[in-house]
Amino acid sequence: MLSASFRRYLHTGDRQGQAKNVTFYIQVAVLSVGFAILVSSIGLLYGVKKPNFWLYTYTRPVHLVPLAVASDYTLSPVSYVQGKAFNRFVTIWLENTDYSKAAGDPNIEFFAKKGITLNNYFAVTHPSEPNYVAAVSGDYYGINNDDDNIIPANVSTVVDLLEEKGISWGEYQEYMPYTGFTGKSYKEEKTRKNRYVKKHNPLIMHASVADFPDRRACIKNFTLFYEDLKSNKLPQWLFITPDQQNNGHDTSVTYAGKWLRGFLEPLLDDPNFINNTLVLVTFDENDTYSKQNRVFSILLGDVIPKNLIGSADKGFYNHYSELSTVQANWGLKSLGRYDVGANVFDLVAQKTGDSLRSLDITKVYLNESYPGIFHRKKYAPLPVPDTEASFAGRTVLESIRSIWGKVQNKSVYKGAPLSIPSLRNPPIYPREYSRRKRRGGN
């Protein structure tokens, strides 16, 4: 095992006491690399996948290599599963911008004129992290913070749904130092600017993904995005997160818009990217917490009919609609959570037979998190999915039914409501549910 001081040195670049301990660090680094080579050799003999030893990007600094080579490798699975409306789904998330400001940015407006603007697309709470979590697993479990939360391993995600149908998936996180990185953040070495943050990496916050090397191997950085693009090895489902500068978090929507224009515009003409592809550009949340949490969102891609280019869709959507749209397109199962009742994007619903339901938009207020296992003040138990849920012909994934079926009487999800809970209208737990209070909870 590496000493705590050496691990701290590796992850933060802390130079305090470096001169005194440099000999020790060199010895441990040599041993680490030697161990990695031994592990690789054994893997080759016994069929274990070889770790990726190479410094494939400038964002993987030398002081991270000993840990990285000992445990991490990269996969780029491909598949060609036909969908009803698209064969590839790409979502790109920007940060913390009010609807009107995003709509007024000239570069974002440029893309709106090339696609369909979703006028009533909502984030599901504040702050950032719970929105990212919700988009891949159908709930945010009371998160009202940006802490280093880990969703328990018995909670399934979109990955389980995709893999059940043999559909390739991948995340691309800008400035993540290496594939499968589980650290909380990474700063640029020279400028110390914030770059990568775990709270914007939804799948790595789920133990059902992070605990499995083959799944971590599909969570990569932008250097590998461009390698996969060039070699035509992009997956069919992609979640793309720019770094803290380019997503507008530490800068502005103007900065983010310029980045988006430079990143996405050439991709829309690249056949290795655009090939029966639907792209969603959205924001995690708005910036003014007192306003409705409506975020500017656009659908793009070669699946947009010419007559809909530059149009607007007034349907009600939220981050759970990413899940329901993907499920409807490929005939996937559901997670039995708030994905079940979420509207499918109308463009896709026209092909899948889903109905677009409506509600009173003026009453939508998704600005504060309801109680849950990760809420700092208001604890509630981990919610049991509705394993019997069935909506629009989609039933719950069998593995979820196996895990949770025997405690179905404790589920907080009933039916397929379009309206989702908030702190003002929290989930109602059945009496059968044992409400054990977390230390310090209410």
CB-based contacts of 199, cutoff 8 Å, min separation 6: 128, 129, 132, 146, 184, 205
User: In the numeric block, which tokens belong to residue 268?
Assistant: 């829309």
Do the Cβ atoms of 167 and 88 come closer than 8 Å? no
Closest C-alpha to 368, from 265, 272, 290, 277: 290
CB of 107 within 8 A of CB of 261? Answer: yes
Q: Which of 211, 214, 243, 250 is catalytic?
A: 250
Establish whether 98 is a catalytic residue: no
DSSP string for 325-379: HHHHHHT--B-SSTTTTPPPPHHHHHHHT-------GGG----SPPP-TT-SS--
Alpha-carbon distance of 182 to 72, in angstroms, equals 11
Residue linked to tokens 């502005």: 252
Distance CA 171, CA 219 (A): 5
Q: What's the rounded Cα separation, in Å, for the pair 90 and 64? A: 30
Closest-CA residue to 333 (of 414, 409, 400): 400
Q: Please name which of 314, 301, 334 lies closest in space to residue 413, comparing C-alpha atoms.
A: 334
Q: Report how far Cα 117 is from the mean position of its chain's Cα atoms.
A: 21
Give catalytic residue positions. 250
